[in-house]
Amino acid sequence: MKRDKFKRLVSQAIAELPEEFQKRLENVVVLVEDRPSRELLDQMEVPPGDTLFGLYEGTPLTERGFAAPLYPDRIWIFKKPIEEECGTETEIKEEIKTTIVHEVAHFFGLDDEYLDELGY
């Protein structure tokens, strides 16, 4: 899939989030990269052969003080791992939605264990 189309699907997934969530994402940027770096995978303790579809980088709302952060938080969406895992455009679109919800949930302070229970 061409990068522009993938980015449109990411934008669409964000636009489909509930409005009250979108309003809270005012200081969050969403970036698309081809793959996570090996250094990032090592830092996140991702075993060889596994990968990441996305990553939230920042301070969750539940851990912030009163001052706004100087720099925006970032959500990374990794294109190639999603494409390699999914067989169709429909599956890619659904995985992007799931990944966006997962990473936005980290922004709101939810951990992986709880997200797994919810199916994300």
Check which CATH number belongs to the domain holding 98 and give it.
Answer: 3.30.2010.20
- 52 neighbors 44 (Cβ within 8 angstroms): yes
Range of the domain at 98: 3-118
Q: What is the predicted pLDDT for the residue at 9?
A: 98
Q: What is the predicted pLDDT for the residue at 93?
A: 97
Q: What is the predicted pLDDT for the residue at 63?
A: 82
Say how many domains are in the chain: 1
pTM of the model: 0.88
User: Is 110 buried (19+), middle (13-18) or exposed (0-12) by CB count in 10 A?
Assistant: middle
Q: Which ranges of the chain have pLDDT less than 50?
A: none
